[in-house]
Structure 1
């Protein structure tokens, strides 16, 4: 019961105000504010029972996560169990939290979440300074902001336009700062003066597993909602599974965590009118001239000696680096990833001694087998053929590259086996095989409606963007095609087969090779004719793949009118005639055509003959995700020739070195280790 006060006489009005003040103060202490109450979301994607294996895995995961010291870094992701009872979990603490505050928030959130969503297999809670999420599906490296939950705090600002003129630039700055963070921290906060002698405090944050582009997109999507729901409001909090944004007219974080203001420039130096008193002065004369000459000679001699020594050291270090690089590129380099090495006997048991019943297919590297480890995990095993002349190099290349790449749209290498003359690569098993099994099959292609195809196109684009810009390495795939795109159980695309991939330096823009490898129809002209490759080589291949996805036809033939004509020729003619809709796969004619026309447009931009005119994958991802972006007009694409010229071009290479390529789905590998 609240305390009561009895007031008499002339003090009645004043005491009434005092009572009201204490009442409101007590209510404020007892009842959490809107920002303090946790938000949660319980997904309707499936339930579990209280004594199920899923609940056991979830409880084990929550306990393990809380007891793990890595949570002190503010971000943690892990998983437990095996499918279909596998549980994935992500925990994120606000960037200004101390380790003790982080643990306290996570500890409270795990109990709140289980209480709010007792049987849901997927749920998320946003506390005051942390968030906790679990799911039956993989949620790492995935940007999810389709649903934004928000809570409005405070009344409208009296001068909405003046308030927005301060808030918008602040949020833009925070969004860019947060997105440019690193893999453990994507967080920014700042305050700035607002009208009416106020100060606006704001904070933006993404889960650190997102790329810079995805973080920026997530926060931008949240920011775009403000004019619709909260225009002029003095405070609001927005949360999604991947990012959150908040602003208030009162400090809701420790202001000491804000970045320091820029230091003012140092004052200009003013020359003294007279030399300092402690420095000796000399009068002009022979003695001073002679001293100056000696000083000049000494300084010149010392400078020359230092320069010569520096040049010698640079030459030595450069030679040493080349020597070290050569050593890294030898067979001993595989020791870097020895922790991924499997025992041959274990793989042989998993594949039932590589039985034909478990054989999934065969490529240029060798046969591929399905296997299952004793814990139930399914795997796909590539086994190098004994008569494969290129497989040894491809094997080393794939182990060294893929082992260091982690992205939801890249196939995951679990390990390898190097025993005697056996060379095995062990991957995650993807049940829906490769994209070409669907898109070029007259019956199965009907299973890929436009929504699924558009999702696959976007996933491939994000995977390439990761290879080109967002990973620690810069990778050129060089063999992107439908048969190298694998599909998981949910039809999510994963780029595979890195046997031909090349590693670039971060600032490197182009490379050259004496041997041309790849698949005809997907290789750009500068690569086929001159051996030049770059990130734009993959862009060209992506453009071909996009056109194949829209038309449902292979790049070297097109069904219907002008049967046998190349896909690029056919697409370009339809573009010029204004009949682009005729390119669309007949099974998609009932779907929305706006995105299909946009994809054809993007595909034609990607296959421009001039490398400079092709967009980067960052631009492609923006095009695919923007509904208002104006696309440039494509010019004549590469290899738009008649069939006779095309045939002669393919059979008469312009280089003196051999050109090896494939006109089917089997890739030819011919490269030197890097």
Structure 2
């Protein structure tokens, strides 16, 4: 009886039982290329699998090698989960070398995934190269979490921090785990891993892409591709002891585990900051009567939204949306020096700043004469403070002092997408794979706004200058001053104040003021075609036989000449099938009838799959475009509106 109790206790405290039989997950036989039985390639593949098996005890849990010579050379690798022992790794690799031969007997390229390891081989070089397909996605339950917004906030933070930790490990495993309290009694566990041969940039790109596919509203899930994998569960699915202190762990590795106290302290920290907001509000009302009532209302707005309650619980939103002191921002921007000015938008000027801790920021300064900017300011606080997605620019906080109204954002060192697309000296930096990745990232960001965030949000001003690029050229949608919130049961609205940018506006919005989620789909389609062609839609018709980019694209595509559209800088790097698919999707998005345009969820699926059938698009119609010579300047009087009002936001790098 005592022995039985001991076994039960050991199982409860260390639920990962090392098994010599790996748990199969999925496999892919990429049979575009096959080899003949008893061929030289088969002999090389078998020799490679034997070599991988014999190296299964490597402490790193990773090994890549080749067998044979060109043209029959075979490339192969294995990757074991970073928390497992060398004996478990060896058992998984040994099993996989036999299993993959049976599952993919004559395929020149194949991959197989298990709970404990992955193994792959190919007739092409796969070392130090990000391979994002094929993929394997699964979640454990169709049941959603009980507090989706709180869960998404904490899970999103944890997943990104775990991925960052995995990517920062050098000279060993690109592997990290994390855990965070979702409630007082419930923890969430996460794991992220890249093949160690990837560069920091490529690992980051792979993991960011993987996080985007992860079903974070579910009770657990995972996403696998040949180069990286990520997973979260409500139970410790990895070996807790090994994950905390692996034999080869260094001081840097020990920092990979996310502090569990983060979420536990968030409520206390949030309460303190909300109290501080309350005190600041009292001080402004009682000791600074000279402050105008508009600024007081804005401070009320910040206080209201930073201490918001989710399902009866204070989440401490102020932790992710702090209140900056004016003297801090003066010091960071050298008193808003012209040397630090990044650009000028309808809202006001934008400045680069550096905080005392070295963190770079971008500061939007509301023009004191801009009534329209005040509307944008309120909109950004209400919307962006609630939104958390890696393809949306992050609002770090705001400042309301001495009649200043300032918004503080994360700094995007590569500036905006239009700088790269429409500048011949910069466009060469965006090869096809980067552009395709940018297209998919923008699509995921819009999908989040339309369907996955707590609010249904219509951006209304999606364009190349409102897509910022981070250090790794990952896209982040910005400028939510024109955005509008829709209730769940509402799909469209009409306004007599048309805002946005010509070339990206759908015809029903430009001519009748009707906007919906399909308005953003149209804007995305126009932007997608710009990314492929390197040409601006809102100026293209001046020098291309009077036709817009959309019309010209449709005519060439319908004649089977879609590749004639491509930016010539992309010719050496492009994948013709991906380019043509993107043009096809772009044309579907800019259909004249909103009902004919796909939803963003369909767009994301179409971009990720090569097997989804695409309907034939009709010719785009946009008669209003030809009547406009130049976009109108934004009005500075918020009380006077015109059907042709356009807001311009040409912001330089920030």
TM-score range, shorter-chain basis? 0.5 to 0.7
2:323 aligned with 1:334, yes or no? no
Tell me by how many angstroms 1:562 deviates. Answer: 3.0
Q: State how 1:356-375 maps to structure 2 within 5 Å.
A: 356-375=338-357
CA distance in 2, matches of 1:31, 1:41: 15
Counterpart secondary structure, 2:522: helix
Deviations 1:355-386 (A, max 9, x none): 11111111111111111111111100000112
Structure 1 position 480 matched with structure 2 position 462 = yes
Residue 333 to residue 602, structure 1, CA distance change in 2 (3 Å): same
Query: Per-residue deviation at 1:532?
Result: 1.0
Q: CA deviation at 1:241?
A: 2.1
What secondary structure sits across from 1:88 in the alignment? helix
Note if 1:540 corresponds to 2:508.
Answer: no
Question: What's the secondary structure of 2:439's corresponding residue?
Answer: helix
Correspondence for 2:20: 33
- In structure 1, stretches of 5+ residues that fail to align are 1-29, 45-72, 81-86, 92-109, 147-177, 188-204, 207-217, 223-237, 245-327, 668-674
Contact kept in structure 2, 1:126 and 1:239, CA below 8 Å: no
Aligned pair count reads: 417
2:644 & 2:62 partners in 1: Cα distance?
A: 55
2:298–2:378 contact (8 Å) kept in structure 1 = no
Q: 1:122 aligns with which of 168, 171, 174?
A: 174
Q: Deviations over 1:594-617 (max 9, x none)?
A: 111111111110000101000000
- Residue of structure 2 equivalent to 1:635: 618
Q: Which residue of 2 aligns with 1:14?
A: none
Which of 501, 512, 520 matches 1:530? 512
* One of 412, 434, 451 as aligned partner of 1:452: 434
> How far apart, in 1, do the equivalents of 2:395 and 2:437 lie?
23
Structure 1 residue 450: Cα displacement? 0.6
1:192-225 Cα deviation digits (max 9, x unpaired): xxxxxxxxxxxxx33xxxxxxxxxxx37x79xxx
Other structure's SS at 2:476 match: strand
Alignment of 1:321-470 (within 5 A): 332-337=300-305, 339=318, 340-470=322-452
Greater relative contact order (CA < 8 Å, ≥ 6 in sequence): 2
- Per-residue CA shift, 1:55-88, capped at 9, x if unaligned? xxxxxxxxxxxxxxxxxx99867689xxxxxx93
Tell me which moved more, 388-397 or 432-441. 388-397
* Structure with larger Rg: 1
Question: What is the distance in 2 between the residues matched to 1:409 and 1:469?
Answer: 14
Q: Is the 8 A contact 1:369 1:382 kept in 2?
A: yes
On the 8 A contact 1:555/1:566 being kept in 2, the answer is yes
Question: Secondary structure of 1:368's match?
Answer: strand
The verdict on how the C-alpha distance between 1:529 and 1:141 changes in structure 2, with shifts beyond 3 A counting, is farther
Q: How does 1:163-202 map to 2 (within 5 A)?
A: 182=217, 185-187=218-220
C-alpha contact (below 8 Å) 1:571/1:583 kept by paired residues: yes
CA contact (8 A) 2:496 2:513 kept: yes
Give yes or no for contact 1:358–1:370 (8 Å, CA) kept in 2: yes
Give the secondary structure class of the aligned counterpart of 2:329. helix
The structural deviation recorded for 1:649 is 13
How far is 1:572 from its partner? 2.1
Structure 2 residue 552 is the aligned partner of structure 1 residue 558 = no
**Unpaired segments ≥5 residues, structure 2:** 1-16, 24-56, 65-150, 180-187, 195-199, 234-295, 307-317, 634-639
Shift of 1:511: 1.5
Distance 2:510 2:63 in 1: 50
Answer whether contact 1:458 1:621 (CA < 8 A) is retained: yes
1:501 Cα deviation after fit: 0.4
Measured after TM superposition, the shift of residue 621 of structure 1 is 0.3
- SS of the residue corresponding to residue 447 of structure 1 reads coil
1:659 aligns to what?
A: 643
Q: Distance in 1 between matches of 2:632 and 2:337?
A: 39
The answer as to 2:608 corresponding to 1:625 is yes
Q: Distance in 2 between matches of 1:557 and 1:638?
A: 16
**TM-score under structure 1 normalisation?**
0.55
Deviation of 1:179 after TM superposition, in Å, equals 7.7
